[in-house]
Structure 1
Amino acid sequence: MTEEPAENISGGPAGGGTDARFDPATADTRAEEVVDRLGERYWQKSYGGRDGFECLVRTVLSQNTSDKASQPAHDALMERYGGGDLAEALSTAPQDELAETISSAGLYNQKSQTLVRLAGRIVEEYGGVPASGDAEDSGAPSRPSDAFDEFVAAGDPADVRAALLDMKGVGPKTADCVLLFAGGRGGVFPVDTHVHRIARRMGLAPADADHEAVRERLEADVPAEKCGFGHTAMIQFGREYCSARKPACLEDPDACPMADVCEQVGVYPETGEMVDPSEAPEAE
């Protein structure tokens, strides 16, 4: 897999979101304490406002690859197809041409098929639907992407998530990223491989929890307004310290800044061994 860049794309100035400050008062849960500490170390942001369909496209491109590979693919796609309504453009794009355009992202044949299919569905379901009362009064149909954006931003979050999950090629993490980065919804904590690993290693979720169980636990234990930067800052922490194959504490127990709030499930610095948290023996 392509090496990831040093900084999570959503953390830097170009990564979207608005700098915010949240009171790191006495946390009600360990998960909130962890998120507060990560926010103080990296960034505290409020997210939202991205174009909904473009966010969906970006997240599909990022599946099973790194920012370093997916960002150039996104930029090339937008340069080629982003001049008008993106959903309309991709719905009629030749699949082989789109695959060539996004080839840096990996799995480009599969992803190009997914993007054409998703774009077609957005055009079918949201094309011609007025995006506002003004459009309705004028009789002018909205662009499909605009109507989809409004649904993502204003629709009931449960309905938006269900609609996204009903689209072939969209999983829970992709749906939650659209809700967070486009919809700006509080209380949404997307779970990628970094979050899934770290939450279980630190003991914030059961060691055998799947992605959905981790999401449910974190969303229950972290205040809604902190979930967004909790997600992005935890990814950054995973890149710098709590990597999949070589967590910092494995070689030096004092190297990790979060060691005092971590249960090190499946990580054994005294022996230099490591297993997936789900394979770790239960503490007696």
Structure 2
Amino acid sequence: MLKKDRYREFVAYFSSHNPDAQTELNYSNPYELLVAVILSAQCTDKRINQVTPKLFERFPDANTLSFASPQEVFTYIKSVSYPNNKAKHLVGMAKMLIESFGGVIPSDVKELQKLPGVGRKTANVIASVIYDAPAMAVDTHVFRVANRIGLTSNATTPLAVEKQLVKFLPKDTLAIAHHWLILHGRYICLARKPKCELCPITYMCKYYERQFLSNKVSLNVIKESNG
């Protein structure tokens, strides 16, 4: 299957079967999403959703968070990964948001990355989810699934994966394609043992073709040679 055909099949399948894909992080406004995404780095969405209700109750907006101490924030997020660093980042982010951006979360990816705790992936998430910008956030799921399916080739860094996906995906699908890839990686295309037997898109997957169809051909050759 040619790459352009693989992209066409990918978009066609998920547009039909998961047209409303969205983040599994719970939030009610841009500020809450930004906090949740910062916290979600190297941590599960399930864990973040357990932590954020009390955190948002105590710090309902950037202004209140900007006056907090990292030590206090830590008490609310101590069960997530790297809580000390994230507590410092959250307070620093809130202060800069108030002082440099008037409390308004910027829509530009480069501006977003000026905020403490906000890397390129987080910036792309905010830009695409909040502002519907044609941005592609690449986390471990997106990186793995895009390479396995064959949407990307020789892409050894998240930035390389991002550039290829942005180049070949229709612009109006970039935001939702991010969620398609994440959810597929989270529930089907697992890191250690992908559930290929349950996967509905094996017909377009290079990994499945290499791992299973090639083995099947080899077995048939052995059977034929043995009479």
CA distances 1:156-213 after superposition (whole Å, capped 9, x unpaired): xxxx11112233321111000110111122x222111111001111111124431111
* 1:235 matched residue in structure 2: 182
* Cα drift, residue 39 of structure 1: 3.0
* 2:203 matched residue in structure 1: 260
Q: 1:245 to 1:230 in 2, by over 3 A?
A: same
In 1, the alpha carbon distance for the partners of 2:140 and 2:203 equals 23
* 1:94 matched residue in structure 2: 69
1:245 to 192, 196, 200: 192
2:101 to 85, 106, 126: 126
Structure 1: unaligned runs, 5 residues or longer: 1-26, 128-143, 153-159, 272-284
Contact 2:202 2:208 in 1 (8 A): no
* 1:162 matched residue in structure 2: 110
Give TM-score, length-normalised by structure 1: 0.67
In 2, the alpha carbon distance for the partners of 1:227 and 1:69 equals 26
In 2, the alpha carbon distance for the partners of 1:213 and 1:115 equals 28
- Aligned-partner residue type, residue 176 of structure 1: N
Q: 1:239 to 1:209 in 2, by over 3 A?
A: same
- Aligned-partner residue type, residue 175 of structure 1: A
- When structure 1 is superposed on structure 2, of 192-201 and 105-114 the one drifting more is 105-114
Contact 2:90 2:116 in 1 (8 A): no
Give TM-score, length-normalised by structure 2: 0.82
In 2, the alpha carbon distance for the partners of 1:96 and 1:207 equals 43
1:40 to 7, 16, 31: 16
- Aligned-partner residue type, residue 122 of structure 1: L
Indicate the structure whose relative CO is greater, using CA pairs within 8 Å and at least 6 residues apart.
1
SS in 2 for 1:244: coil
* 2:123 matched residue in structure 1: 175
- When structure 1 is superposed on structure 2, of 90-99 and 201-210 the one drifting more is 201-210
In 2, the alpha carbon distance for the partners of 1:265 and 1:100 equals 45
Q: 1:35 to 1:50 in 2, by over 3 A?
A: farther
Contact 2:38 2:86 in 1 (8 A): yes
* 2:57 matched residue in structure 1: 79
Report the RMSD for the aligned CA atoms in angstroms. 2.5
In 1, the alpha carbon distance for the partners of 2:50 and 2:79 equals 7
* Cα drift, residue 260 of structure 1: 0.8
* Cα drift, residue 57 of structure 1: 0.9
- Aligned-partner residue type, residue 182 of structure 1: I
SS in 2 for 1:104: coil
In 2, the alpha carbon distance for the partners of 1:241 and 1:45 equals 15
Contact 1:194 1:234 in 2 (8 A): yes
* Cα drift, residue 104 of structure 1: 3.0
- Which structure has more helix as a fraction of its residues? 2
Q: 1:45 to 1:235 in 2, by over 3 A?
A: closer
Q: 1:123 to 1:210 in 2, by over 3 A?
A: same
- Aligned-partner residue type, residue 164 of structure 2: R
Structure 2: unaligned runs, 5 residues or longer: 216-227
Seq. identity, %: 29
In 2, the alpha carbon distance for the partners of 1:32 and 1:168 equals 38
In 2, the alpha carbon distance for the partners of 1:266 and 1:96 equals 51
- Is it true that 1:64 corresponds to 2:42 in the alignment? yes
